[in-house]
């Protein structure tokens, strides 16, 4: 790979936010999309596309059926494990393979976007003429100039930190792919239980092709999360014998959004999108539709405005997303309290379904 010395836009991170930003920015000129992981990248994820994500993608291109896993659609179900309460909701998800989904998104990019894996951005500086970006690739550091930089580097965004916008803490996530030894019900179960302790937020269980996918979300700074996950798996397997041995376990992080001020559009010529900008549902952990929408908004701002005006245009267009996150944050104290979880067990299923749709 030979980098050019100049691009109109450099995008850091090839997740859904970065790809959408690159797609929009390509209408203005040349784009370099750099990713620190090898491409196609592997993102630990449930691969559940909610209706907003499906709707968004429907406007872009038809989704290839090859990336969809069995069962194709699953409904979200609230589960109070200790009391054996299960409340199915009307929320319907498309069940996809996340690696194939991400790879398909990249395939939508036009020729004037150069995509390079194993190329972490190691630093950048803004000056009056734009941004100077340092990209490490194959033992060399390349200095590249651009008009605008897009930080789409996820929950641990270094671009955000370098801008001095502070960092958001992260949940610790663990995901087990279990061999299926029977049938799991075709639901996306979100499970609350008390036995794991205060570090535990929730788990989800969903059938995915020949596997049972079990993810758990632990609060920031959880000590020995693998031990907690072993304990969680043991409890779940007692009542879900279809969950056979774990064939793969992934550890990752997800944004722990706690305040409306965690959402940040960027600074100067640098725009932040997806989890890097704080865009993620604080109540459901859903992040793909937020990444797609914020990435697209940044791409459109870059395509339609001068380099100096792009950030203001982007900030204005993401205002509805920021307000959506602020509204969801108001539900958090209720959802995370033990009395909130207890009361949810008594709420009639249609009401749980209705409320969940807004979360
Ligand atoms: C276990 C788990 C399960 C999830 N399940 C779901 C789900 O079922 N449905 C859903 O909607 N959401 C889910 N999410 C959330 C969703 O995956 C994210 O919100 C979404 O991927 C965010 O997209 P993004 O583009 O902002 O960032 P990411 O997808 O995280 O992409 C950021 C990219 O930036 C790269 N990068 C980082 N630093 C650098 C650097 N210095 N230079 C170059 N590249 C860099 C990273 O390697 C990464 O590929 C889940 C998250 C986790 C952790």
The number of residues in the chain equals 359
Q: What is the mean pLDDT of residues 273-287?
A: 96
pLDDT band at 263, cuts 50/70/90? very high
Q: Which atom of ligand 1 is nearest to the CA of 159?
A: 41
Q: Ligand 1 center to residue 156 CA distance, Å? A: 10
State in words which class domain 6-45+101-168+257-329 has. alpha beta
Q: Which atom of ligand 1 is nearest to the CA of 17?
A: 25
Residue in 36, 144, 154 to alter for ligand 1 test, most ligand atoms within 8 A of Cβ? 154
For residue 207, the model assigns a pLDDT of 98
pLDDT band at 246, cuts 50/70/90? very high
Please work out whether the CB of residue 152 comes within 6 Å of at least one atom of ligand 1: yes
For residue 344, the model assigns a pLDDT of 78
Pick from 7, 37, 6: nearest CA to 22: 7
Q: What is the mean pLDDT of residues 110-126?
A: 97
The pair of structure tokens assigned to 18 is: 């970065």
Has residue 170 got a pLDDT over 80? yes
Please work out whether the CB of residue 213 comes within 6 Å of at least one atom of ligand 1: no
Q: Which atom of ligand 1 is nearest to the CA of 18?
A: 25
Has residue 349 got a pLDDT over 90? no
pLDDT band at 357, cuts 50/70/90? confident
Q: What is the rounded CA–CA span in Å between residue 285 and residue 269?
A: 29
Please work out whether the CB of residue 14 comes within 6 Å of at least one atom of ligand 1: yes
Has residue 353 got a pLDDT over 90? no
For residue 222, the model assigns a pLDDT of 97
The pair of structure tokens assigned to 306 is: 């001068």
For residue 67, the model assigns a pLDDT of 97
For residue 45, the model assigns a pLDDT of 98
If one compares 1 and 109, the residue with the highest pLDDT of the two is 109
Q: What percent of the chain has pLDDT over 70?
A: 100
| Residue 126, beta-bridge partner list | 131
Omega prior to 221 cis, within 30 of 0: no
The 3-state secondary structure of the chain reads CCCCCEEEEEEECCCHHHHHHHHHHCCCCCEEEECCCCCCCCCCCCCEECHHHHHHHHHHCCCCHHHEEEEEEEEEEEEECCCCEEEEEEEEEEEECHHHHHHHHHHCCCCCEEEECCCCEEEEEEECCEEEEEEEECCEEEEEEEEEEEECCCCCCHHHHHHCCCCCCEEEEEEEEEEECCCCCCEEEEEECCCCCCCEEEEEEEEECCEEEEEEEECCCCCCHHHHHHHHHHHHHHHCCCEEEEEEEEEEEEECCCCHHHCCCEECCEEECHHHHCCCCCCCCCCHHHHHHHHHHHHHHHHHCCCCCHHHHHHHHCHHHHHHHHHHHCCHHHHHCHHHHHHHCCCCHHHHHHHHHCC
For residue 113, the model assigns a pLDDT of 98
Please work out whether the CB of residue 11 comes within 6 Å of at least one atom of ligand 1: no
Domain boundaries, the chain: 6-45+101-168+257-329
| Residue 205, beta-bridge partner list | 189, 214
Has residue 277 got a pLDDT over 80? yes
pLDDT band at 343, cuts 50/70/90? confident
Please work out whether the CB of residue 215 comes within 6 Å of at least one atom of ligand 1: yes
Please work out whether the CB of residue 35 comes within 6 Å of at least one atom of ligand 1: yes
For residue 338, the model assigns a pLDDT of 80
Encode pLDDT of 135-150 as tens digits: 999 999 999 999 999 9
pLDDT band at 239, cuts 50/70/90? very high
Return the axis-axis angle of helices 16-25 and 288-304, rounded to nearest 10°: 20
């Amino acid at each position: 790979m030979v980098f050019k010395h100049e691009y109109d836009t450099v995008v850091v991170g090839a997740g859904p936010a970065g790809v959408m930003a690159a797609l929009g920015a390509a209408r203005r000129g040349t784009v370099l999309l750099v990713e620190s992981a090898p491409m196609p990248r592997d993102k630990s994820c449930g691969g559940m596309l909610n209706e907003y994500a499906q709707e968004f993608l429907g406007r872009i291109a038809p989704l290839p059926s090859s990336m969809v896993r069995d069962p194709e659609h699953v409904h979200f179900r609230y589960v109070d494990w200790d009391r054996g309460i299960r409340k199915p909701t009307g929320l319907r998800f498309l069940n996809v393979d996340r690696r194939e989904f991400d790879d398909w998104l990249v395939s939508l990019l036009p020729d004037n976007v150069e995509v390079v894996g194993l190329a972490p951005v190691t630093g950048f500086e803004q000056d009056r003429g734009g941004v100077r970006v340092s990209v490490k690739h194959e033992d060399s550091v390349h200095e590249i100039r651009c008009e605008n930089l897009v930080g789409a580097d996820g929950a641990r965004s270094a671009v955000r930190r370098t801008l001095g916008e502070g960092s958001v803490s992260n949940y610790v996530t663990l995901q087990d792919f279990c061999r299926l030894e029977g049938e799991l019900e075709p639901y996306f179960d979100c499970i609350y239980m008390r036995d794991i302790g205060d570090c535990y937020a929730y788990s989800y269980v969903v059938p995915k092709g020949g596997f049972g996918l079990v993810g758990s979300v632990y609060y920031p700074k959880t000590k020995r999360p693998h031990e907690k996950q072993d304990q969680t798996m043991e409890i779940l397997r007692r009542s879900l014998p279809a969950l056979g041995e774990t064939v793969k376990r992934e550890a990752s992080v997800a944004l722990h959004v706690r305040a409306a001020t965690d959402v940040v559009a960027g600074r100067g010529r640098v725009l932040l999108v997806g989890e890097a900008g704080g865009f993620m549902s604080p109540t459901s952990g859903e992040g793909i539709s937020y990444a797609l929408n914020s990435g697209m908004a940044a791409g459109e701002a870059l395509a339609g405005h001068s380099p100096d005006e792009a950030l203001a245009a982007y900030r204005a267009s993401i205002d509805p997303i920021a307000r959506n996150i602020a509204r969801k944050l108001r539900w958090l104290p209720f959802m995370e309290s033990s009395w909130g979880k207890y009361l949810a067990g008594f709420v009639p299923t249609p009401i749980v379904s209705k409320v969940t749709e807004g979360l």
